[in-house]
């Protein structure tokens, strides 16, 4: 990831920006960083790692953004004190991102993003929620819809006009799982679906799911129990707002979804089923 960031610095410098890279381990406190900012007369700052670097920019006199490093999401969130610090940093940051979400605008409020993982095909209907979500985003800039899938030529131009809706290219499964764990909810908007692996993986990762009310989705989701089913974009927004404002409902859905996946869709059961199927052929 550092190599990717260094490449980004090259692009920034090529655009005429003067960049200065400082190792957070060499900074004893935010006071050291504050003095550095004053002496070098920086216009903005970018912290790599929400806790290790972000905490050094708290109270900064210049605008700053934060890029997640990996351990801040996967490990530091297990420490209550670090979580408190990271939440404070997020509240001050102008934008946040990671190797996956770099550059998504952030207005200083806690970012609440929904993740739609799909191939950008007609049957997946990835733009089904775009207009309704853009309207919601204009009302509440903290909500964002991230669509992850292989790029199609007409999608970027459309999405560039939809506030709060972003398209990202395919990413490795490890990075995708990290993004799922960080998002507020995983979304499905398909016209037709067999059995959505993205929804089942989200349920297994303890992330709420909101899915279009079609037979394939309804077969694995019980409304208000293991997830939420919506019939139109307006209902999606309504249900999403209810879920955001009701932590008890969130916890219930996540717990029951995990129970459902463990009981009916575990990899052990799938492995045994395939083995039994093969044995039955002899």
Q: Which domains does the chain have, with CATH numbers?
A: 2-98 (3.40.50), 112-268 (3.40.50.2000)
- Alpha-carbon distance 210 to 187, whole Å? 5
CB 241 within 8 A of CB 247: no
Using only C-alpha atoms, the chain has a radius of gyration, in whole angstroms, of 21
CB 213 within 8 A of CB 232: no
Tens-place pLDDT, residues 49-67 = 888 888 999 888 888 888 7
**Paired tokens of 23:** 């190792």
DSSP character at residue 55: G
**Alpha carbon 217 to chain centroid distance?**
21
The confidence score (pLDDT) of residue 226 equals 97
The confidence score (pLDDT) of residue 134 equals 92
Tens-place pLDDT, residues 123-151 = 889 889 999 999 999 999 889 999 987 75
Question: At what angle are helices 130-139 and 233-244 packed, to 10 degrees?
Answer: 40
Query: From the first residue on, what is the mean pLDDT of each consecutive set of 10 residues in the chain (282 residues)?
Result: 49 72 81 88 85 88 78 72 86 68 53 87 89 92 86 53 78 80 94 90 96 95 97 97 96 96 78 62 52
- pTM strictly above 0.75: no
């Amino acid at each position: 990831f550092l190599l990717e960031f260094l490449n980004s610095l090259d692009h920034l410098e090529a655009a005429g920006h003067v960049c200065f890279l400082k190792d957070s381990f060499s900074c004893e406190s935010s006071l050291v960083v504050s003095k550095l900012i004053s002496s070098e007369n920086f216009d903005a700052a970018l912290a790599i790692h929400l806790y290790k670097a972000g905490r050094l920019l708290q109270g900064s006199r210049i605008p700053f953004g934060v890029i997640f490093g990996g351990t801040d999401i996967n490990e530091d969130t297990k420490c209550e004190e670090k979580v408190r610090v990271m939440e404070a940093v997020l509240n001050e940051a102008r934008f946040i991102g990671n190797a996956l979400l770099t550059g998504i605008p952030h207005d200083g409020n806690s970012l609440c993003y929904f993740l739609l993982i799909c191939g950008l095909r007609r049957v997946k209907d990835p733009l089904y929620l775009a207009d309704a979500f853009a309207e919601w985003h204009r009302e509440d800039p903290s909500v964002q819809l991230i669509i992850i899938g292989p790029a199609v030529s007409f999608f970027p131009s459309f999405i560039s006009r939809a506030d709060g809706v972003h398209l990202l290219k395919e990413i490795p499964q490890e990075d995708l799982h990290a993004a799922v764990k960080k998002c507020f909810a995983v979304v499905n908007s398909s016209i037709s679906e067999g059995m959505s692996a993205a929804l089942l993986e989200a349920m297994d990762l303890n992330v709420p799911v909101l899915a279009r009310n079609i037979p394939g989705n309804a077969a694995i989701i019980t409304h208000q129990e293991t997830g939420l089913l919506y019939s139109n974009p307006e209902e999606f927004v309504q249900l999403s707002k209810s879920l955001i404002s009701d932590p008890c409902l969130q916890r219930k859905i996540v717990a029951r979804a995990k129970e459902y996946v463990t009981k009916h869709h575990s990899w052990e059961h799938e492995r045994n089923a395939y083995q039994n199927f093969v044995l039955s052929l002899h």
